[in-house]
Structure 1
Amino acid sequence: MIEAIRDHLDDLEDLYLAEQRLADIQSGQTQTIALEELMKLHDMED
């Protein structure tokens, strides 16, 4: 039972962090980058 509660709390924390990142993106505080661009920046092209 304790493990199930811990798992649920971890899921809630993940959800909270995702919602915070989305809010940051929507407000313009954080910008996104396309995966293709990120891969090029790190010399990881297909």
Structure 2
Amino acid sequence: LPFIRTSVDHGTALDLAGQGRADAGSLLEAVIQAERMAGNAPLGGPP
């Protein structure tokens, strides 16, 4: 892919929606990993 893509390590957890019980840890780690990858990306965009 010509862009950075990360993903959480679980499904949608629809059974937890609206209950205030979801854990955003996996999402946070995916965002942190994307930030790390972006810091190492070559300048000028995709080849």
TM-score interval for Structure 1 and Structure 2 normalised by the shorter chain = 0.3 to 0.5
Larger Rg: 1
TM-score by length of 1: 0.45
Q: Which has the higher contact order (CA 8 A, sep 6+)?
A: 2
TM-score by length of 2: 0.44
Which structure has greater helix proportion? 1
